[in-house]
Amino acid sequence: MTGSGTLVDPCIGQIKQGKDIGFSIYHKWIWQACIDCDKERWVLLKNGKPNSLRCNLCATKRYGQSIRGENNPRWKGGEVKVRADYNRRQKLGALKHYGGDPPKCACCKETHIEFLSIDHINGNGSRERRKMGYGYLYGYLKKEGYPSGYRVLCLNCNLSLGHYGYCPHQKEGVSLL
């Protein structure tokens, strides 16, 4: 915008931070024309180079659907499914180590794997997540040889302990209502 409040079109080659143009705040973007149709648009910069030379429409026309899915020579059978299986195995290994085989909640004895989680006994879970990042707990535990300080709780017991400092199963008759 200029001082009078009107929009100013960017110039070819102009680089801006994502937050200035409504995109990802952590990346830089360049105003660039498609090499096929000359349509101008913002393109993500990766390692100082534009991420793509063509707009989405021209790229789809040029490459079509042949580069997607099973037709792609690098297809490995669907990484999403493979990754989900890997994560499930990591979780099951940690749950079995800390909760027995079959794993169960240390408080209410829940056994459905989908409801079970790892609890930090000393309550330092948020500090640990900030240090190592989200989504790495099961792999971290395996890599460290399943250290002490963890236990298996169902999500209800874990959430109650985190929010209220106790689990209703341990304090029968106590109610917030």
| Residues 119-171: tens digit of each pLDDT | 988 887 777 777 776 667 888 888 889 999 999 999 999 998 888 888 888 87
**Using one digit for the tens of pLDDT, what is the confidence trace for 24-50?**
777 888 999 999 899 999 898 888 888
Instruction: Please tell me the distance from the alpha carbon of residue 76 to that of residue 130, in angstroms, as a whole number.
Output: 32
Q: What residues contact 157, with CB distance under 8 A and at least 6 apart?
A: 105, 106, 107, 108, 110, 119, 167, 169
Predicted confidence (pLDDT) at residue 53 exceeds the cutoff of 60: yes
Predicted confidence (pLDDT) at residue 2 exceeds the cutoff of 70: no
Could you list the beta-strand ranges (E) of 27-166: 28-33, 40-46, 49-50, 116-120, 150-154
pLDDT value, residue 1: 43
Q: Which amino acid is at 25?
A: I
Angular region, 135: left φ>0, alpha ψ -120 to 50, beta rest: left
The secondary structure of residue 32, as a DSSP letter, is E
**Higher confidence at residue 64 or residue 128?**
128
Under the banding of pLDDT at 50, 70 and 90, the label for residue 177 is very low
Can you tell me whether residue 4 is helix, strand or coil? coil
Under the banding of pLDDT at 50, 70 and 90, the label for residue 76 is low
pLDDT value, residue 176: 44
Question: For the chain, first and last CA: distance in Å?
Answer: 55
Could you list the beta-strand ranges (E) of the chain: 15-17, 28-33, 40-46, 49-50, 116-120, 150-154
Predicted confidence (pLDDT) at residue 6 exceeds the cutoff of 60: no
**Using one digit for the tens of pLDDT, what is the confidence trace for 79-106?**
555 667 778 888 999 999 999 999 999 9
Query: What pTM did the predictor assign?
Result: 0.52
